[in-house]
Structure 1
């Protein structure tokens, strides 16, 4: 790290502030936190790791720089050949820009979006909602300029705007898009079809298109196209495009939203129709009408007189017959399916092959087969359509309706006006016009709900199923993760939440007609609209049920004492006292980094450590003295640190450390440690130092002569695998959970013996993780006698996701040694990252601390979670969580929770460095319900504390006979608590 390197990085991200800290860290920002304060330059006394002559801050101190050359925020004026076009509202019947670029939203910038759209050959690029990118060649589906609302900063560049809720900042490549290409005028000509309104509120029929004037809405001709000179079709059809194509002809007409026809006269049978009949909007310009089924929006060259009658140039209509000859030359397996009526709300077969004067059922079928379709339909003689189903309510009709001869096979019929002669491979499946599906399993459609009230989603979790979404696909996902409400929007967006969100987010239900976008994966189903949710509520058995007690069953927080340091590790000693260990430079400067706290007398004894234990690991050794081992640390010698403490009742011992005598083989920052079944200590993972490369290996203490063993799965998953969760299984195998994966290792070779299914993450991100820096918390479920009849389970709660840092609101559990382990998902009442979990002697677990958004790290979490939860594994899945008491103290990064010998839970720490929440010295205790139920507490004495594996009938004496039911015995493992990892935690319930 050098000052210039930090300045260059922050400038590249568009931040006017840059600061270096801790020799190797660089921070950027758009403004300073309200609590930031200038201090003497001499305090920033740590040299930069890349240039020792420069100062790079210190502990909790920044060497700060600011530039006035970077201003903002403001719309980016243009980049990558794109110029800023303006702020646009989203479409009313679909996306204004219809192609989703699919870029990661966490670091979205205008430059990245425009580059993606250019690579995909689109001339328009739009950024929305801080992190979404869309592309297109026209502003579609009713999108329009907006005077406000583009006020959300880009996730990847806080100096520029990336749209807003229902708003896009739109960029135009080299000025190729002309937003005024289709002009309107109040001058009108209405020969036969009526005068369109020149200033409509919604879609309109422009009075003029260039030098052409509105001529009227007309029907098709009899047995032939009304305008038959030439034609083309496009999914981006506009009146302007058709006019340009037909510029050599007197008339042009558009039909079915996407078809353009040209001619100098109308063929026989084409007559004037009411203007209202031309009611389908242009696919490339939803503000204009482009005919309808069997209806053309016709324009005539300026000066063309309206005829007094239909043109006399009338070719003879082909002969008709009530019996159609069987088509020949079809692909293998394809058969004729009869005459069908076109769809009511769009084409029955959505894909159109170019018109051909050689068209026949066989040529059309072979063209559709080559394009990957299983159904073909011929219409109007020259037209060929393809699909894999018959959509929009297309229905079979009498054979005589298909009366137009095929130009390539005159003895056969190729449909007629609004009629299709259909051939398919097998019996075709047909779908009704799109509508909300009333029920999907135990889900019930409840209406079209408003989304995006005040830039806030009605349902929190957003999922994308581009090109494939069906209602079932969305609803199944919401159900799997325990949500009772789901909403579908824009055809391919899915949202999960709860029914009460309709009220809490200020939403309401609107007419079903406002949800009019079909599902990308089911053309017969509706999947929302513009800021509208096709909404379903769960009607089956409750997916979750939480208890909300108002009495002692909620437990109780209690302030205990003001501490002397901010611990990042707490660990109970065999004497009942607690080790408080903190990283260097956390406090005011006079701390030693280690203290021993007596929770009975509320006093601290000063201890000493030599190297920085910042993000170290700890275990209690299985010896009579209950010695504590602490390994790893922040940088240099500290990463190799191997520290020992022998607790003593007299309070005279101190931590011992000599890196020249006893140290790890590999430097480790953020490692985990575990006592193996033979008493050795397994040390795994971490980084080689502060924010550095991985240490993807396992080593064993005491040293055996074996070098650390590299694990490819640690290499592959770095850096989301730090502080992995470890446990010895009943078989002797070692369970490891890291990021979103888990496996069992051989205890001798550390080779993988079993790979478990991936751990579920969040509802919208399968890669949501559970270990640092995505930091959830984990414990073993109780082991009960007889042990061979009760498999050992693992419980993991909370965590977060990469990029946006959406904290996870679920717990997952499994039995790793089951033949086919399955992860069970249980909703939590709130989001949790950086949380802690403490095993309790009654077999339940306290879940506490953490944030509701972000990831682990300094300043990376927000919205403290002040609520405690109690988890009871004896209850049915989905009903195990009790919403317990609240605290008033934010416990964020570097907080801890351990169960004391008297049954209370010690709650400590919080070192967020976020400018909002304090560096926390206060120590609390949580009183679980068993301490508040007014029942007498049993006492016991035990003489023999030196047990062997498999020993039974260990004697102990209880102080009084059992009352209020039997007395049970629980053994809790000694815990070293840090970063959500309760190293050593285990609950055993013997006979």
Structure 2
């Protein structure tokens, strides 16, 4: 497959593409808890249910608000209109009703995942999905076929077609439309048969014509427009009534235009209408305005002109249509057929039954017309083939999970290209406006089966000469191969319980003492928690000895951590929750050894040392010069943006922070931005769904990179907190001539987790994101770089965003991403855990090659208040496949652990399976893990040579390839890694070992 095509780049194929979520909610996402709904007394949520744009579930009043839609606004609107049901959909749409219509059924809760435009904390339905609310009152009786109205008796439901009417006389009903008003209209015209169709169309006659015959009563299933207790036919179906009394006179034609005073024509001869047939092969206009009992030629033209239409059509006295071309093989009719007076001006003609009075603003009276649309079977995007017309699932269930909607620009090619770009080999188009993407299995598992080819009869809104499905029918296309292949190896590794915890970790960091340091937010875990603990991995069999209490002075919630390049490998933690803690700068020098407690503790004094700006959710990076870059955040929990950067140690000269407009523009969706030093020394920064390269000295933007692709249905999805994916650098290999690549996995589309990883070579001549689909959706993933150059992907959820109570459906599966394999074949499905790891979870590479899995503090309860996802104290480890084969791990000895750039350093190796000719050496940068963000992550495969069992390793050449810092050094005997030892590369060029020079801080020195 070729490189990713963003939704924006598809404009040439699908201009003005709109997606199922319709809008990018811009409200600040609250991260502590989902706000309780403020509903009127008696109203309650009823879950997620199906809806259909062609056959609505709620048939009453409706409105759309692209800016301020909330659940409360919708419910209050329905209350004012005296409805008992309210439903919100597509972020911005509100529907009311007294009954659930058209076979509506319960849908999966995850289908309703669109944030409301007026409150991003609330969910307002989804793609053809309603969040339903009920007043508690019993609904009125459902609509019924009225057995009689006065002397009019029901004859049941009859078939009808627009091309050959069963009742041939179309009648305009004055006022409200109901069975009563339609039968009364036919009575006054002298006709004994009266029929109602499509909720608001009335027909009369003296006999059935054109083979009209009874149909199933259930086919007449549309309530009357102005009386929801009665049925008024359906699509191509008539509720027919027979008059059993004596009519006042014989049949007469409906009032013709031009009567009542003989008014002169309004328009000059050059603009007189032409008559056209309608309905022979479907509607010949694409846009129909609501019926208007007071319509005139002038009002219809004005309404259509406001939509930039060049053609106007009037029909059946009350109908107004707009467009730029006629479709469906429209043909000219006879002028005498347009014999119905306009509802608002009896001196003007407004078409007739299935006849249009068409006006044009084009030169010379031109009326463009397109042929009858056909199925597109040739000139398809490479690899795609037309399959058939298929049915949606039983009870209106969807076949495919991913929906893209464009009311004006849906095309076959645009749909297929978009599906392929995101890894979906099956595509379907429906209702002319909808593109669906999925897998072959979706069809076999969900479709009700094949449909007649003629059922897929709706023209594509962006390509009117081709067909895009029909009502509950999909024009189905397939790709001739699997796009993404996920390996399912026999050796999948395993999760293991390691030890019970005394802390609910927020930050996990492996120190050079081989122990794991955990930080915890205030208020989490046990009441007497000290907020920081250290785990001795050599003592996990003795709970009382394994844990050592440490102490922090301020709340580290939503802070950032990394390991400094000073000789003590101090852990630096910056930022925090609120007030002074957001300015926090905290330091810890790991000491002690396996089985021996250290004595050091966290050091912090706000009065001596603090950030220049308070920061909640900042990121930090050791730059090539050895100083620390701190980026972004907010001014406390859910506070105003802090769109600045600053340097530690703080330079002299007052406020040295720099304002970054790109951070300001993307708050609150840019928190914990991704930061990486590139081989040029420049800095990659990824934030929300955007990325750029910065100069490391001036921090000016060098390159604005293409936006990060989101999901198949959305290009506004995000990758950083609160949408929260994670990013890592691909491994770098000596001689380091290849440009480095960035990998970003997971994220969220304001509620729907993303199911893909994306990668880019940011310093390539024309950098482009490439999408690789994952086997499942994942927001809040954690990624750990492994000594063999692969990446373990764990933790997270399949729905929601990061925050307290804002995610659901834990993703319990582990994946392995291998950059050495071909694109779209890099992901293997590994083992599952039983422990939900959601908000505040971590994945950390241990010195023995296992991955420590910790944390989860989602604070999510069931509606009755009981805990749904608990604070997670349990610590697990994942045994990667390379340790799950029964091989003995190699070992090595080393004397020199403080390396200079380009230096050569010997080790003595002990291998058990292979030889040094097949051995590999890797350097995995020391990192800190929080919220899935791995600050400081990097994997390097350096050059080495061996003589016997003594190998000389050449350190990376400069600080751009490997910024100053500590690394775990591994050797690999075939697939099996050794235990690591820590080495420092590049020294401490910014003299951090002598910072901060204050009484409350211990300095390790140079």
- Structure-1-length-normalised TM-score: 0.70
Instruction: Check conservation: 1:486, 1:496, Cα contact below 8 A.
Output: yes
Partner Cα separation in structure 2 for residue 247 and residue 868 of structure 1: 72
Partner Cα separation in structure 1 for residue 147 and residue 214 of structure 2: 18
Matched, 1:772 2:721: yes
Matched, 1:478 2:419: yes
* Among 450, 459, 463, the residue aligned to 2:392: 450
Instruction: Check conservation: 2:530, 2:551, Cα contact below 8 A.
Output: yes
Matched, 1:73 2:44: yes
Partner Cα separation in structure 1 for residue 235 and residue 53 of structure 2: 21
- Which structure 2 residues correspond to residues 705-854 of structure 1 after superposition, within 5 A? 705=652, 706-788=655-737, 790-802=738-750, 805-854=751-800
Deviations 1:234-261 (A, max 9, x none): 9998777777889976569999989999
1:958 maps to: 909
1:587 maps to: 525
* Among 872, 880, 894, the residue aligned to 1:942: 894
Matched, 1:111 2:81: no
Instruction: Check conservation: 2:187, 2:247, Cα contact below 8 A.
Output: no
Instruction: Check conservation: 1:204, 1:288, Cα contact below 8 A.
Output: no
Alpha-carbon spacing, 1:126–1:473, altered in 2? closer, same or farther (3 Å): farther
Instruction: Check conservation: 1:109, 1:162, Cα contact below 8 A.
Output: no
2:155 maps to: 197
Alpha-carbon spacing, 1:503–1:846, altered in 2? closer, same or farther (3 Å): same
Partner Cα separation in structure 2 for residue 642 and residue 822 of structure 1: 37
SS at match of 1:662: coil
1:388 maps to: 324
Partner Cα separation in structure 2 for residue 384 and residue 243 of structure 1: 24
Shift of 1:102: 4.8
2:964 maps to: none
Instruction: Check conservation: 1:117, 1:135, Cα contact below 8 A.
Output: no
Deviations 1:406-446 (A, max 9, x none): 99xxxxxx999989999996794523267797995415344
Shift of 1:858: 2.4
- Which structure 2 residues correspond to residues 405-416 of structure 1 after superposition, within 5 A? none
Partner Cα separation in structure 2 for residue 519 and residue 170 of structure 1: 36
Partner Cα separation in structure 2 for residue 657 and residue 371 of structure 1: 64
2:212 maps to: 276
* Among 416, 437, 448, the residue aligned to 1:496: 437
Shift of 1:302: 7.1
Partner Cα separation in structure 1 for residue 273 and residue 150 of structure 2: 53
Instruction: Check conservation: 2:500, 2:873, Cα contact below 8 A.
Output: yes
Deviations 1:158-207 (A, max 9, x none): 99999997997799xxxxx9999996627778xxxxx9724x3x7799xx
Deviations 1:833-866 (A, max 9, x none): 2210011121110001112222222232222211
Partner Cα separation in structure 1 for residue 764 and residue 480 of structure 2: 29
Instruction: Check conservation: 1:73, 1:160, Cα contact below 8 A.
Output: no
Matched, 1:700 2:643: no
Alpha-carbon spacing, 1:188–1:713, altered in 2? closer, same or farther (3 Å): same
* Among 628, 644, 650, the residue aligned to 2:571: 628
Indicate the structure (1 or 2) with the bigger Cα radius of gyration: 1
Deviations 1:114-143 (A, max 9, x none): 65999xxx9999744777776799999x95
Aligned-CA RMSD value: 5.8
* Among 587, 597, 606, the residue aligned to 2:549: 606
Partner Cα separation in structure 2 for residue 132 and residue 598 of structure 1: 49
- Range with greater deviation from structure 2 (158-167 or 272-281): 158-167
Alpha-carbon spacing, 1:610–1:423, altered in 2? closer, same or farther (3 Å): closer
Partner Cα separation in structure 2 for residue 452 and residue 536 of structure 1: 17
Deviations 1:627-680 (A, max 9, x none): 221122223332222122222345232222222222211222221111011000
1:210 maps to: none
- Which structure 2 residues correspond to residues 85-484 of structure 1 after superposition, within 5 A? 97=59, 101-103=63-65, 108-109=70-71, 111-112=73-74, 115=77, 127-128=86-87, 185=148, 197-198=155-156, 200=157, 273-274=209-210, 276=212, 288=232, 303-304=246-247, 343-348=279-284, 387-394=323-330, 428-432=368-372, 441=381, 442-451=384-393, 457-484=398-425
Alpha-carbon spacing, 1:419–1:437, altered in 2? closer, same or farther (3 Å): farther
Instruction: Check conservation: 2:312, 2:359, Cα contact below 8 A.
Output: yes
Partner Cα separation in structure 2 for residue 456 and residue 235 of structure 1: 37
1:927 maps to: 879
SS at match of 2:581: helix
Partner Cα separation in structure 2 for residue 934 and residue 850 of structure 1: 30
Alpha-carbon spacing, 1:923–1:687, altered in 2? closer, same or farther (3 Å): same
* Among 972, 981, 989, the residue aligned to 2:924: 972
Alpha-carbon spacing, 1:972–1:459, altered in 2? closer, same or farther (3 Å): same
Deviations 1:723-757 (A, max 9, x none): 11111112222111111111122212222222222
Partner Cα separation in structure 1 for residue 108 and residue 732 of structure 2: 55
Deviations 1:482-533 (A, max 9, x none): 2233444555444433232345558555666776666555566665566x35
Partner Cα separation in structure 1 for residue 626 and residue 420 of structure 2: 44
1:857 maps to: 803
SS at match of 2:517: strand
Alpha-carbon spacing, 1:236–1:715, altered in 2? closer, same or farther (3 Å): farther
SS at match of 1:970: strand
Instruction: Check conservation: 1:95, 1:490, Cα contact below 8 A.
Output: no
Alpha-carbon spacing, 1:219–1:877, altered in 2? closer, same or farther (3 Å): same
Partner Cα separation in structure 2 for residue 924 and residue 691 of structure 1: 31
Matched, 1:909 2:855: yes
1:547 maps to: 487
Partner Cα separation in structure 2 for residue 814 and residue 807 of structure 1: 21
- Range with greater deviation from structure 2 (154-163 or 759-768): 154-163
Instruction: Check conservation: 2:46, 2:134, Cα contact below 8 A.
Output: no
Deviations 1:553-605 (A, max 9, x none): x1222222223322211112223222222222323233322233232343333
- Structure-2-length-normalised TM-score: 0.69
Task: Give the structure, 1 or 2, with the largest relative contact order (CA under 8 Å, sep 6 or more).
Answer: 2
Partner Cα separation in structure 2 for residue 416 and residue 25 of structure 1: 60
Instruction: Check conservation: 1:556, 1:885, Cα contact below 8 A.
Output: yes
Alpha-carbon spacing, 1:235–1:434, altered in 2? closer, same or farther (3 Å): farther
Shift of 1:395: 5.7
Partner Cα separation in structure 1 for residue 850 and residue 235 of structure 2: 76
Partner Cα separation in structure 1 for residue 459 and residue 451 of structure 2: 17
Instruction: Check conservation: 1:646, 1:654, Cα contact below 8 A.
Output: yes
List runs of 5+ in structure 2 lacking aligned partners: 1-30, 257-267, 341-349, 541-545, 861-866, 944-1006
1:17 maps to: none
Shift of 1:810: 1.1
Partner Cα separation in structure 1 for residue 674 and residue 505 of structure 2: 21
Partner Cα separation in structure 2 for residue 72 and residue 385 of structure 1: 39
Alpha-carbon spacing, 1:592–1:535, altered in 2? closer, same or farther (3 Å): farther
1:677 maps to: 624
SS at match of 2:645: strand
Partner Cα separation in structure 1 for residue 374 and residue 134 of structure 2: 31
Partner Cα separation in structure 2 for residue 784 and residue 468 of structure 1: 46
Shift of 1:609: 2.2
Partner Cα separation in structure 1 for residue 557 and residue 320 of structure 2: 71
**Number of positions where the alignment pairs a residue of Structure 1 with one of Structure 2:** 845
Partner Cα separation in structure 1 for residue 683 and residue 235 of structure 2: 70
Instruction: Check conservation: 2:484, 2:825, Cα contact below 8 A.
Output: yes
